[in-house]
Chains A and B, each alone.
Chain A
Amino acid sequence: MSRLPHIAGEVIDRSRTVEFRFEGRHYQGYHGDTISSALAANGVRILGRSFKYHRPRGLLSYANHDVNALVQVRAGERSVPNVRADVVQVEPGWDISAVNTRGGVSSDRLAVLNHLSAFLPVGFYYKAFYGKRLAPRWERMFRNLSGLGCVDLSAGRHRTPKRYEFCDVLVIGAGPSGLAAALAAARAGASVLLADENPAALLGGSALYARGGEDRSARCTQLLIERVRAEARIRLMTGTYAAGYYADHWIALVAPEAMVKVRARSLVIAQGACEQPAVFRGNDLPGVMLATAAQRLLYRHAVLATRRVAVLTANSEGYAAALDALAHGVELAAVLDLRPAVSARSRRSAEALERRGVTVHVAVQPIEAAAESNGKLSHFEFSHGTAGARQRLELDGLWMSVGFAPANALLHQAGAHMAYQDSLGQFVPSELPERVYACGKVNGVYDLAARIADGEDAGFCAAAAVGFGGARARLPAVAAEECPTHAYPIFAHRKGKEFVDFDEDVSIRDIENACREGFDSSELLKRFSTLGMGPSQGKHSHMNALRILARVRGEAIERLGTTTSRPMFHPVPLSHLAGRGFTPERRTPLDAEHVALGAVFMPAGNWRRPEYYQLPGRSREQCIVEEVAAVRTRVGLIDVGTLGKIEVHGPDAAEFLERIYTSRFANLKIGMTRYALMLDEAGVIIDDGVVGRLDPESFYFTTTTGNSATLFREFGRLATWWRLPVGLVNLTGHYAAFNLAGPAARAVLRLHTTLDLSDAAFPYLALREARIADVPCRIMRVGFVGELGYEIHLEASRAREVWRALLDAGARFQIRPFGVEAQRMLRLEKGHLIVGQDTDGLTNALEIDAAWALKMDKPFFIGQRSLRILEGKPRRQRLIGFRLQPQAAQLPKECHLVLDEGGIGGRVTSVGVSPTLGRCIGLALVAPNIATGQRVRIRIDRGEEIHAEIVRPPFYDPGGERQRLAEPERVGEPA
């Protein structure tokens, strides 16, 4: 066991043990242990296998980003992939295994890849596996060899709520500087949100675990935490990391069970720095770890992962770690300082160490770390001093403290400019966006007192920027006493395996080779070598790679530029991102009726509409043919509630309609309707509908289904632009609508209304307001499908009663509800075009047979001026009808080509077999020289050609007598 006696500040509860399994074996930890700390306490050193070479890997950073500490957790029925062992608390009964192994983590059969590494150079995949034919096979192979955890496809639906938060100042990071910033902003009167990725017990950042063998920094930071907890204006969100910055201070915070979207007025980034590894041969062996990882294990979980340790360092933080090690009984073999001499800031610690018998070597050059046969670190070889004396130490642990990289991803995303400071060995913000502040290590400030002062100043300024206290500029950062980060902690070995990126197994040689092949900019290098593309997103590889790249190119780091940091900062579970669908399917108020009647649905815009109603024992085609026949011979009922339904009110309502539509509406009589055609400025047809006049200053009109929302919005813009004071009301969702059509329509309607339906009282194209089945309705007598028909509009909430009443009343006429397919055929028989199907984005109003609807003598309508130009030019195309021989066996489809004298003469836009006419009919957009009566050929599937005759629509009832029917023949009524 590697568990130490009680340590002040530990977060484990020794009275509660946790039993769990890892790789099939039983282990015991304490409540409060992470998976990694519980395993370390049991002496388990190998946590995973590397992504490419399947090398054994252990604890490295013990932060939230090691790819080699990702595990699969089975808990009861659930199996969760890619759980971060370093930060997730282990729970009783968990069955845990390493990801990406074949045969278990300790005897991974794929470890053979480690010996093949010479044949797997950088860019290997791109060069070897691009062949088109074999690519799918290679892809399958590599998907099996590499990868992370397994998704449990049987997992139930897991919904993560989304929450919204607002605050004056958002502080990200509750280390000493973040705590101080939050307190300063709150004291100024601002409402503060303070978020930290650690659980509530682990606030305080590095000050709580990088102690240097004493407790001054921890006590001082604990005081800050207590004051933060006591401050009413600070809300603390723990276990919550900031995943991304979006425009205007919109921050995505990922909490354990929620995605929290915060709108902050002012933002303080105090995210600290990620400790960076040194790069030398064998730096990935289990036992080689970052010093902060060892310190976190020690002070949070009272675990010593390793017994005999050397500290490889280049800063005072490394000396502090060495003192921490000594204070807890670690056998400290040596402190190995990369610097030529101990710095002034480290001197006191160095002397204390030497007094206790610890050797401090300077000017150390790592040579290699080597392992026992079980893969764990056994010794470390290095040279030291000006003479370069070689030495070899027997060790089971090597703690690295050679430098830091600021966690500045969010600052980058917010648009901050960074400058590389040689005196700090890191990038610091040189230019910050408005109301964005950085403090602490991310700002290049490392000394504890200086960090607290820096945080206070940032918090004060952040609050002042949004009106709390007098605004002033940020104080300049205090100059650092020493450079906390080594300029080049990278030591190549002739046999390689010095890992720069632990996610993707990228070594120094891979980077050099990538540069040699021309991928020598940071962005290209990243994509070619996959450096920084793993789950840690370059958190411990990006800076070292930049240093190598700078040396290869002989340029300063600042000139190279960093790669773009995009959200998310840490990987986010997809369940946090997934949410509701934002393209909802709309259903009409009659949807349940359709379901009960056996409707088969189809999408229409964002609505669903019945395509046809399935009757038992009938085919789809039979059902549609019967629905058409019912309308032509008896009566049918169709839901047209998806149409756009709009009212326009005001003294200028008529003028408004005159401008947006091509027809005339100023002279439309009250209680009458008129067809309306809408063009864009180029004269292209964009919509059609029916306009009815309710009173002198009110009109009710319809638009096509798909266009209603955008058109209504555009009407608002036009009214604003033209400064026409009209009131527009969108009743599309508020009203239901259906069309009762067929020779018996009047007889059916009469059974439920007292309205005089006689042709004289309610003529063709009239509009009436009356009660049907005791429900107030707006009724328009229109020729929708070319039969006597009534379009009934009414409040959605009453639609079902009226729909049912009409179906009941129609039963004696064998009424049939009909769907979109029957409607299309009925309207095609009448030659009615569908905007968007029989016209396209270039079809202008002169190319369809609609001169009667174009009132060119009006003062203005949209598209009129362009039509005047087009009138003087030859037509490009024309919409015509065609028909086939009654018994034609082969039928054309939409978009088949119409051939004329060997060339392409146009294309079919609508086609179908008319049950009424017993032959195939259709519409086509063709060259203007193709004349009525002419025979053309249509090229159908497989290149075959069929003959068709050009005719002038309508195909059915060309005189339109049936829709004007004054007194219909008595149909279907029982004798």
Chain B
Amino acid sequence: MKLMTCPINGPRAISEFACGGEVRPVPDPNTADDAAWADYVFNRSSLPGVKQEWWCHTPSGVWFVAERDTATDTIHRTYLFQGPARP
């Protein structure tokens, strides 16, 4: 079974984690036009590559960011969320 390193709890079996989707920048709801907002709500990039993803260590409820290569399923690093998603 794959391992993932929780920034708080250390390396744990992947069955203890849940993925929360890609960390994506949110357009400002007050200034974004309707098309930009709809794009944010409905469209996801499925291109393989290194992505920042939300992951949760479910027994402890710790949410963090994992940089994972979705082409090879390699986890490059994990860290606690530090601020708004990089654009």
| A713 and B18 within 8 A (CB) | yes
Q: Given B18, B29, B83, which contacts A864 in the complex, CB threshold below 8 Å? A: B29
Stretch at the interface among A330-338, A716-724, A904-912: A716-724
Inter-chain CA distance A860–B32, complex, in Å, is 14
Cβ contacts A223-247/B at 8 Å (1 or 0 each): 0000000000000000000000011
Chain A residues within 8 Å of B41, by CB: 681-682, 866
Contacts of A728 in B (CB 8 A): 61
B2, B18, B42: the one contacting A248 at CB < 8 Å is B2
- Give min CB distance, A644 to chain B, whole Å: 14
* Residue on B nearest A249 in the bound complex, by CB: B3
What is the 8 Å Cβ interface bit string for chain B, positions 1-40, against chain A (1 contact, 0 not)? 1110000000000100010100000000100101001101
Query: Contact at A721–B81, with CB atoms within 8 Å?
Result: yes
Do A250 and B56 contact each other (CB < 8 Å), given the known contacts A682-B42, A866-B41, A869-B37?
no
A719 nearest in chain B by CB position: B63
**How does the 8 Å CB contact mask read for A49-87 relative to B, with 1 for contact and 0 for none?**
000000000000000000000000000000000000000
- Residues of chain B within 8 A (CB-CB) of A681 are 40-41
What B residues does A716 contact at CB under 8 A? 56, 61, 63
Determine how close the nearest CB of chain A comes to the CB of B26; give it in whole angstroms. Answer: 9
Contact of B37 among A250, A717, A865 (CB under 8 A): A865
CB pair B38–A717 under 8 Å, yes or no, is no
Min CB–CB distance B35 → chain A (angstroms): 10
15 intermolecular pairs with C-beta atoms under 8 Å apart = A246-B1, A247-B2, A247-B3, A247-B73, A682-B41, A682-B42, A713-B18, A716-B61, A717-B56, A721-B54, A723-B81, A723-B83, A864-B29, A865-B32, A866-B38
Q: Is B70 an interface residue (CB 8 A)?
A: no
* 1/0 contact string of A710-738 vs chain B (CB within 8 Å): 00011011001101000010000000000
Instruction: Please give the residue numbers on chain A whose beta carbons come within 8 Å of chain B beta carbons, in ascending order.
Output: 246-248, 250, 261, 263, 681-682, 713-714, 716-717, 720-721, 723, 728, 860, 864-866, 869
CA distance A723 to B29 in the complex (A): 18
Give the distance in Å from the alpha carbon of A860 to the alpha carbon of B81 in the complex.
22
Give the CA-CA distance A670 to B20 in the complex, in Å. Answer: 34
A8 to chain B, nearest CB (A): 44
Q: Report Cα–Cα, A860/B54, bound state, in Å.
A: 22
Per the bound structure, the CA–CA distance linking A721 and B73 in Å amounts to: 24
Known contacts A682-B41, A865-B37, A869-B34, A717 near B1 by CB under 8 Å: no
* A567 CB, nearest partner CB in chain B, Å: 12
Q: Which 4 A-B pairs have the closest CB atoms?
A: A247-B2, A865-B29, A720-B63, A248-B3
Residue of A nearest to B75 (CB): A248
- Interchain CA distance A865-B38 in the complex, whole Å: 10
Closest to B32 in A: A865
> Would you give the shortest CB distance from A584 to chain B, in whole angstroms?
15
- Which residues of chain B have a CB within 8 Å of any CB of chain A? 1-3, 14, 18, 20, 29, 32, 34, 37-38, 40-42, 54, 56, 58, 61, 63, 73, 81, 83
Q: How far is the CA of A847 from the CA of B3 in the complex (A)?
A: 44
Closest beta carbon of chain A to B29's beta carbon, Å: 4
Q: A865–B27 Cα gap in the complex (Å)? A: 11
Contacts A247-B2, A250-B1: A717 and B20 contacting too (C-beta < 8 A)?
yes
Task: For the A-B complex with A713-B18, A721-B81, A869-B37 known, give 19 more contacts whose Cβ atoms are closer than 8 Å.
Answer: A247-B1, A248-B1, A248-B2, A248-B3, A250-B1, A261-B1, A681-B40, A716-B56, A716-B63, A720-B63, A720-B81, A723-B81, A864-B29, A865-B29, A866-B37, A866-B38, A866-B41, A869-B34, A869-B38
Residue ID in chain A nearest B4 by CB atoms: A248
With a cutoff of 8 Å between Cβ atoms, the chain B residues found around residue A247 in the complex are 1-3, 14, 73
Contacts of A714 in B (CB 8 A): 20
Query: What chain A residues lie within 8 Å of B56 (beta carbons)?
Result: 713, 716-717
Using CB atoms, name the residue of chain A closest to B58.
Answer: A713
Most buried by B among A716, A717, A860, A869: A717
Residue on B nearest A869 in the bound complex, by CB: B34
Alpha-carbon gap, A713 to B21, bound state (A): 13
Complex Cα–Cα for A728 and B62 (A): 12
Minimum CB distance partner of B14 in chain A? A247
Q: Which residues of A contact B54 (CB under 8 A)?
A: 717, 721
Using Cβ atoms and an 8 Å threshold, which residues of chain A touch B61? Answer: 713, 716, 728
CA distance A434 to B40 in the complex (A): 39
B85 to A: closest C-beta gap in Å: 8
User: Which residues on the B side are within 8 Å of A721 (C-beta)?
Assistant: 54, 63, 81
What chain B residues lie within 8 Å of A864 (beta carbons)? Answer: 29
Chain B residue contacts of A250, Cβ below 8 A: 1-2
A868 to chain B, nearest CB (A): 8
Q: In this complex, what residue of B is CB-closest to A715?
A: B61
Among A246, A728, A860, A869, the most chain B Cβ lie within 10 Å of the Cβ of A869
Q: B11 — nearest CB in chain A belongs to which residue?
A: A248
A690 to B48, CA, bound (A): 42
Kindly state the separation between the CA atoms of A105 and B68 in the bound complex, as whole angstroms.
Answer: 57
Shortest Cβ distance from A710 into B: residue = B18
A723 to B37, CA, bound (A): 22
Q: Which residue of B lies closest to A252 (CB)?
A: B1
Q: Which A residues are CB-close (under 8 A) to B37?
A: 865-866, 869
Nearest chain A residue, comparing its CB with the CB of B85: A721
Residue of B nearest to A720 (CB): B63
CA distance A681 to B38 in the complex (A): 10
Residues in chain A near residue B18, CB distance under 8 A:
713
Q: Contacts A246-B1, A866-B37, A866-B41 known; A717 to B29 CB distance under 8 Å?
A: no
Complex contacts, A713 vs chain B, CB 8 Å: 18, 20, 56, 58, 61
Chain A residues positioned under 8 Å from B40 (CB to CB): 681
- Quote the shortest CB–CB distance from A870 to chain B (angstroms): 10
Complex: A860 Cα to B83 Cα, angstroms: 19
Looking at B2, B14, B29, which has the most chain A CB atoms within 10 Å of its CB?
Answer: B29
Contacts of B83 in A (CB 8 A): 723
Question: What B residues does A865 contact at CB under 8 A?
Answer: 29, 32, 37
Find chain A residues with CB under 8 A from B58 CB: 713
Q: How far is the CB of B11 from chain A (nearest CB, A)?
A: 9
In the bound complex, residues from chain B placing their C-beta under 8 Å from that of A263 are 3
B63 proximity list for chain A (CB < 8 A): 716-717, 720-721
Most buried by A among B18, B40, B61, B81: B61
The complex places the Cα of A720 from the Cα of B83 at a distance, in Å, of 9
Report the minimal beta-carbon distance from B30 to chain A, rounded to whole angstroms: 8
